[in-house]
């Protein structure tokens, strides 16, 4: 849902709400991440924010003009986010997640509602979510953008993994198993047609101690398309570049089925992560088609820290030191949008260096080498250098 409002209205609203809560409850604290918390008895209200500044420099296969040989650069606010959370004494919680964007098609500034849900956690076996929230599909998609190892998520994750949708879902845990399932209304396509998705995920960590973790998972989603077109149009992990990996046809589809396999390993300062995702397209007037992609990545904390993990999800780095934390990382990423030898396959090699100055500030740098195969117009190779400065509270 995109609301064409200006920044100041929502900022003033959030601050007024927080100040009102402060005057009512009186107890104001700051959490470990720098967020502001107001609490009294069993009532709690919290406000958090996130700001990401990106600089992208790229050439070759990433350019809109297939004949261009020059470099293109872009400097932008990638994310500006405000999050409001509330918790009552009767096991009810709520979350409102507001993204401040700049979209050329909508004018100057716009506001996008991300999470907007109510959660009930009074049951022992599961929590229930009602409203707009992430479909729990895949490992990297459900990891918060502030905690991902690389500046952008892998190509296959962006192409196939669903994002936030209005719906109802359950999420639970039993011993080392974590499960979720839900029904969602698909809202990014034709609003005049009611289209729904059923999505589920099962994760298991057979090994977990203070310094080691093994995670395995599987996810699936059945998605109604009602005759709408399916097509892959994905950038090579550069937000402002052209859509370099595309399928050849717009396929009128009855339904699309997603399958995801995931694995992760933490061994001291080393971490490994991989996913394979396949989309099976049930076409109406053409042959059924399968598309797929995967990534393999690893990272190492030079300063000895560990990544955190909680209930089937990777979290932020764990550290009790006041010194800067250094992390080096590599990712191999592939997305195959070819069918019957038409379309494009993209392969990325990414090197990354992350510097965590403290719990709030992180500097990220990525070098990406891209190679395209198939029906490529213009350059089939490209290079990119990305920088992100991130501040969260």
| Residuewise pLDDT in 10s, the chain (393 residues) | 333 344 455 555 555 555 555 555 556 666 666 667 777 767 788 888 999 999 999 999 898 877 777 788 888 899 999 998 988 878 999 999 888 876 544 445 677 889 999 999 999 899 999 999 999 999 999 999 999 999 999 999 999 999 999 999 999 998 899 999 999 998 766 556 678 999 999 999 998 888 899 999 999 999 999 888 899 999 999 999 999 999 987 888 999 999 999 999 999 999 999 999 999 999 888 888 999 999 999 999 999 999 999 888 988 887 777 899 999 999 999 999 998 668 999 999 999 999 999 889 999 999 999 999 988 877 889 999 999 999 998
Q: What is the pLDDT of residues 111-147, one digit of tens each?
A: 788 999 999 999 989 999 999 999 999 999 999 999 9
The count of domains in the chain is 1
Distance, CA of 231 to CA of 204 (rounded, Å): 32
- Given this model, what pLDDT does residue 359 score? 85
The reply to whether 13 falls in a domain is: no
What pLDDT is stored for residue 106 in this prediction? 42
Beta strand 245-246 pairing with 233-234: antiparallel
Rounded to whole angstroms, how far apart are CA atoms 257 and 277? 11
- Two tokens, residue 230: 């399916």
pLDDT for 336-356, tens place per residue?
999 866 899 999 999 999 999
Q: Check which CATH number belongs to the domain holding 129 and give it.
A: 2.40.160.10
Full domain range(s) for residue 350:
50-80+104-392
Q: CA-to-CA distance for 77 and 371, rounded, in angstroms?
A: 27
In a domain, 227, yes or no: yes
The answer as to whether 240 is a domain residue is yes
Q: Is there a domain that residue 329 lies in?
A: yes
CB under 8 Å to 179, separation ≥6 — which residues?
Answer: 171, 172, 173, 200, 201, 202, 203
Domain contains 88? no
Q: Answer yes or no: is 241 within a domain.
A: yes
| Buried-state track 176-194, b at ≥16 Cβ within 10 A, e below 16 | eebbbbbebebeeeeeeee
Residue 34 confidence (pLDDT): 61
Quick one: tokens of 110?
């716009």
The token pair that represents 107 in the structure block: 């004018």
Does any domain span residue 9? no
Task: Confirm whether pTM is higher than 0.75.
Answer: yes
């Amino acid at each position: 849902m995109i609301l064409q409002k200006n920044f100041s209205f929502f900022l003033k609203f959030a601050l007024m709400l927080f100040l009102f809560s402060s005057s009512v409850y009186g107890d104001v604290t700051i959490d470990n991440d720098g967020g502001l918390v107001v609490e009294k008895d069993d009532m709690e209200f919290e406000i958090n924010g996130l700001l990401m500044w990106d600089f992208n420099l790229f050439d070759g296969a990433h350019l809109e003009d297939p004949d261009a040989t020059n470099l293109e650069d872009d400097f932008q606010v990638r994310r500006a986010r405000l999050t409001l959370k509330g918790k009552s004494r009767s096991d009810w919680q709520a979350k409102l997640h507001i993204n401040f964007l700049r979209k050329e098609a909508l004018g100057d500034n716009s506001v996008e509602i991300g999470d907007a849900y109510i959660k009930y956690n009074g049951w022992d076996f599961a929590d229930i979510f009602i409203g707009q929230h992430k479909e729990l599909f895949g490992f990297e998609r459900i990891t918060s953008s502030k905690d991902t190892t690389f500046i952008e998520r892998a190509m296959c994750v962006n192409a196939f993994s669903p994002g936030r949708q209005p719906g109802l879902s359950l999420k639970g845990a039993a011993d080392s198993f974590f499960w979720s399932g839900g029904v969602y209304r698909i809202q990014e396509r034709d609003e005049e047609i009611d289209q729904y998705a059923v999505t589920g995920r099962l994760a298991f960590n057979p090994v977990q101690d203070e310094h080691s973790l093994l995670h395995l998972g599987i996810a699936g989603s059945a998605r109604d398309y009602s005759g709408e077109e399916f097509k892959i149009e994905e950038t090579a992990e550069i937000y402002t570049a052209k859509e370099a990996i595309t399928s050849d046809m717009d396929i009128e589809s009855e339904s699309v089925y997603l399958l995801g396999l995931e694995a992760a390993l933490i061994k001291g300062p080393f971490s490994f992560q991989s996913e394979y995702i396949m989309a099976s397209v049930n076409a109406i007037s053409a042959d059924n088609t399968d598309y797929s992609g995967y990534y393999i990545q690893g990272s190492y904390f030079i300063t000895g820290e560990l990544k955190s993990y909680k209930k089937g999800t990777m979290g932020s780095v764990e550290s009790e030191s006041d010194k800067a934390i250094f992390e080096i990382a590599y990712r191999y990423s592939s997305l195959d949008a070819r069918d019957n030898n038409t379309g494009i396959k993209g392969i990325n090699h990414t090197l990354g260096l992350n510097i965590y100055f403290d719990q709030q500030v992180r500097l990220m740098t990525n070098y990406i080498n891209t190679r395209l195969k198939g029906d490529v117009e213009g350059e089939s190779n490209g290079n990119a250098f990305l920088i992100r400065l991130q501040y969260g509270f």
